[in-house]
């Protein structure tokens, strides 16, 4: 069920401000793609444009093409709501719904999309998703407690469970570990490696070790200067990026010489 | 301390025990005592010119504050004295602000309690001249009209607030916000005249209906509901909306299932306080609903009685002898205060029970 994503000549705007310019990239199915780069270079903006979350911000718009298995996501007849059902997202800060229990949080996507499932089917879905997010053993005895009562790392895994419960084709992760300790980070990285079997994953990260550990391909974004749009400098297999990058800028960034 | 330390006379403001300067402190009860002494002196001063409470308060506040400041300054030093001065001024201001409130509640209780009996609650003024009678008709009238007002105002106000927070952009949003602000400041009699003029168009002049009163009160209540609901909806973190969108939930369902449940406690509180705000309105009801001595529970047919208007008429036209009517007016005021207080308690309960639980 994982899909291939082809992005061509993508320009992303906030109002009249061009934030990201001319991205051409092709993301393989069943892989983890990491996006790295200095703050403000447009990684997250690019990521959000992949499931049309970008346009939620007033004035934000996109020019260019994002094609998933032959279909242009920005076509005139495409409903952004349907796009987001296919392409799930996990945010930087864990954001479980505070009014819902752990159980309800996991099935929120299915329920809110109007899906009518029987109780037993919902139970199975909750167990499957929580197992998938590596959280089942920790919460199986307190599924009816509020999701906001979990620790930060558990909340983030709850959000991942919520995202994979709707069975998306692609999972976008926007710095999912930046607020977490190394142990929770490791749990989520292990999880990503497992999820790779089923989903196409794109992850934004500031942690270059993380990119090197989990990803198969890596894209490096950079700015040419303050107020200039960000652009994709290099996109290559992770091993190549971290051992023998094509661009000087990539090498400088990875070795810590700037940014 | 070792015995080798020379026995130097320690200065009053600092001792040498450690890096942190220590100083003499006034005992805990001292400021309050000093202030009380100042007030006492103030009372004596005012007796010189014939005792009056107002003068005692003014003299006492000034002298008490001065006493605390000067004593603290001589004992504790300048910085601490300034601290005490500000604390005293703030506390005094608070106490002065409490005076009218306590006095009001006391007066209403004193005058209203004698008639707070079962007759007051289960008889109307039909055929009553002089003693007895009650506000059965007025209490029910207030409940019915306020209920109708709520039924009109809550959907309109809530949907307006949702529009402003979730959907509105540009000029229209600014215009609505502006007019809601203007409406918050409308004098209540204007709302009454508006409703009167509106209904007079259809039913001719001199018409009095319960529903007219509800419309007039709704004009006053809608902006309050919009304002409070808007503030509460703005507090819902944007991350929750984005989380729902990212799951492929349409916007309307996100509002209905995520935004409103998250803010339900605040919405309930805001609505209850808005009801409390309009339940005591007198002027608009005076021109739209009028008053009736008997019971009329149909808001679509003629005059009705309401508590504020009942109190107004019992006070201005108490009948002969006047004391019974005036007493009923006080009791009506007391019942009204009790109703508002009950609504405030309900608002607190709503915000306690519906608030999102963290439950670790």
Residues of A within 8 A of B242 (CB-CB) are 53, 56, 91, 95
Q: How many angstroms separate the first and last alpha carbons of chain B?
A: 49
Q: What pLDDT does B75 receive?
A: 86
Is the pLDDT score of B94 beyond 60? yes
Q: Please tell me what DSSP assigns to residue A100.
A: S
Instruction: Kindly report the average pLDDT of chain B as a whole number.
Output: 88
**pLDDT at site B179:** 94
Q: How far apart (Å, rounded) are the C-alpha atoms in residues A238 and A217? A: 5
Q: What is the pLDDT of residue B151?
A: 95
* Among A99, A113, A146, beta carbon nearest to B249: A113
pLDDT for B204 equals 85
The distance of Cα A200 from the centroid of its chain, to the nearest Å, equals: 10
Banded pLDDT at A258 (limits 50, 70, 90): low
| Percent of chain B whose pLDDT exceeds 70 | 94
- ipTM for the predicted complex: 0.88
- The token duo for B90 is 């703030």
Of A81, A84, A149, the CB nearest to B358: A149
CB A210 within 8 A of CB A231: no
Alpha-carbon distance of A190 to A32, in angstroms, equals 12
Mutation choice for A interface testing from B173, B239, B243, B262 by most A CBs within 10 A: B243
Class of domain A5-254: alpha beta
Q: B165 contacts in A (CB within 8 Å)?
A: none
CB contact residues (below 8 A), chain B span 131-170, against chain A: 169
**Model pTM?**
0.81
Domains within chain B, CATH numbers bracketed: 30-114 (no CATH), 120-354 (1.10.3720.10)
- Strand order through the sheet with A5-14: A71-72, A60-68, A5-14, A17-27, A230-237, A217-223, A32-36, A200-204, A170-174, A87-90
Q: Give mean pLDDT, residues A114-136.
A: 87
What's the pLDDT score for residue B16?
55
Mutate to test the interface with B, among A86, A112, A162 (most CBs of B within 10 A): A112
Contacts of A109 (CB under 8 A, 6+ apart): A162, A163, A165, A166, B247, B248, B249
Residue B11 reports pLDDT greater than 50 = no
Structure tokens at B353: 């029970």
B344 burial level (CB within 10 Å; 0-12, 13-18, 19+): middle
Which of A82, A99, A108 comes nearest B356 by C-beta?
A99
The encoded tokens of residue A164 equal 């994979």
Residue A259 binned pLDDT confidence (cut-offs 50, 70, 90): very low
Give the number of other Cβ atoms within 10 Å of residue A246's Cβ. 14
Q: Which tokens hold the place of B153?
A: 């105002």
Write out chain B residues lying below 8 Å of A91, CB-based.
Answer: 239, 242-243, 246
Mean residue pLDDT of chain A comes to 88
Q: How far is CA B41 from CA A10, A66, B55, in A?
A: 82, 84, 12
Give the distance from residue A70's alpha carbon to the nearest chain B alpha carbon, in angstroms. Answer: 21
What 8-state DSSP symbol labels residue B10? P
* Interval A222-231: pLDDT, tens: 888 777 888 8
pLDDT in tens, B314-357: 999 888 888 889 999 999 999 999 999 999 899 888 888 887 76
Look at residue A71 in the predicted model and tell me its pLDDT: 86
Q: What is the pLDDT of residues B132-188, one digit of tens each?
A: 888 999 999 999 999 999 999 999 999 999 999 999 888 999 999 999 999 999 999
User: How many CB atoms sit inside 10 A of residue B83's CB?
Assistant: 12
Average pLDDT over residues A183-211: 87
pLDDT of B3 strictly over 50: no
E-state strands within B157-257:
none
pLDDT at A161 exceeding the cut of 70: yes
CA dist A50 and A170 (Å) reads: 10
Q: Over 80: is that where the pLDDT of B358 sits?
A: no
Task: Identify the band that residue B61 occupies on the pLDDT scale cut at 50, 70 and 90.
Answer: confident
Catalogue the E-assigned strands of chain A. 5-14, 17-27, 32-36, 60-68, 71-72, 87-90, 170-174, 200-204, 217-223, 230-237
What are the residue ranges spanned by the domains of chain A?
5-254
Tell me which chain A residue has its CA closest to the CA of residue B251: A81
Residue-level pLDDT at B10: 44
């Amino acid at each position: 069920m994982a899909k291939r994503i082809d992005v061509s000549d993508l320009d992303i705007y906030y109002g009249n401000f061009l934030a990201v310019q001319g991205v051409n990239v092709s993301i393989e199915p069943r892989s983890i793609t990491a996006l790295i780069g200095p703050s403000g270079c447009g990684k997250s903006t690019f990521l959000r444009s992949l499931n049309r979350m970008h346009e939620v911000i007033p004035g934000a718009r996109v020019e260019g093409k994002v094609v998933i298995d032959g279909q242009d996501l920005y076509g005139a007849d495409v409903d952004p709501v349907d796009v987001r059902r296919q392409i799930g997202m996990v945010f930087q800060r864990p954001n479980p719904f505070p009014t819902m229990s752990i159980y309800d949080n996991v099935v929120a996507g299915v329920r809110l999309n109007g899906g009518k499932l029987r109780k037993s089917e919902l139970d199975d879905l909750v167990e499957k998703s929580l197992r998938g997010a590596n959280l089942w053993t920790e919460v199986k005895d307190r599924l009816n407690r509020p999701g906001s009562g979990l620790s930060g790392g558990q909340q983030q895994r709850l959000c991942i469970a919520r995202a994979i419960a709707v069975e998306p084709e692609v999972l976008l992760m926007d710095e999912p570990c930046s607020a977490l300790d190394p142990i929770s980070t490791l749990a989520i990285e292990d999880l990503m490696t497992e999820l790779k079997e089923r989903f196409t994953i794109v992850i934004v990260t500031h942690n270059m070790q993380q990119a090197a550990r989990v990803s198969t391909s890596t894209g490096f974004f950079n700015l040419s200067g303050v107020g200039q749009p960000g652009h994709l400098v290099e996109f290559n297999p992770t091993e190549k990026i971290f051992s023998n990058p094509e661009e000087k800028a990539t090498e400088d960034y990875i070795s810590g010489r700037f940014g | 301390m070792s015995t080798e330390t020379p026995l130097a006379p320690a200065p009053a403001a600092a001792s040498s025990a450690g890096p942190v300067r220590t100083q003499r402190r006034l005992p805990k009860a001292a400021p309050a005592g000093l202030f009380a002494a100042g007030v006492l002196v103030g009372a004596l001063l005012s007796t010189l010119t014939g005792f009056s409470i107002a003068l005692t308060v003014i003299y006492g506040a000034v002298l008490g504050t001065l006493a605390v400041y000067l004593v603290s300054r001589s004992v504790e030093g300048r910085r601490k004295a300034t601290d005490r001065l500000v604390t005293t001024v703030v506390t005094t201001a608070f106490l002065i602000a409490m005076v009218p409130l306590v006095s009001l509640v006391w007066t209403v209780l004193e005058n209203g309690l004698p008639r707070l009996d079962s007759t007051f609650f289960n008889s109307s003024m039909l055929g009553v001249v002089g003693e007895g009678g009650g506000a059965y008709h007025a209490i029910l009238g207030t409940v019915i009209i306020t209920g109708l007002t709520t039924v009109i105002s809550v959907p309109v106000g809530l949907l307006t607030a949702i529009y402003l927070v979730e959907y509105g952009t540009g000029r229209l949003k600014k215009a609505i916000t502006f007019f809601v602000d203007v409406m918050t400041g409308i004098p209540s009699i204007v709302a009454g005249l508006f409703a009167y003029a509106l209904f007079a168009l259809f039913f001719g002049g001199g018409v009095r209906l319960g529903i007219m009163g509800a419309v007039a009160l709704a004009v006053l209540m809608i902006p309050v509901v919009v304002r409070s609901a808007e503030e509460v909806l703005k507090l819902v973190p944007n991350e929750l909306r984005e989380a729902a969108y990212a799951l492929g939930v349409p916007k309307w369902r996100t509002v209905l299932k995520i935004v409103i449940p998250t803010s339900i406690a605040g919405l309930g509180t805001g609505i209850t306080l808005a009801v409390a705000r309009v339940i005591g309105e007198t002027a608009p009801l005076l021109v739209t609903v009028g008053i009736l001595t008997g019971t009329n529970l149909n808001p679509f047919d003629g005059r009705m009685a309401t508590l504020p208007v009942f109190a107004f008429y019992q006070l201005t036209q108490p009948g002969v002898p006047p004391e019974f009517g005036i007493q009923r007016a006080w009791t009506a005021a007391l019942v009204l205060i009790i109703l508002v207080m009950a609504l405030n308690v309900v608002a607190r309960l709503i915000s306690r029970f519906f608030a999102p639980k963290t439950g670790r």
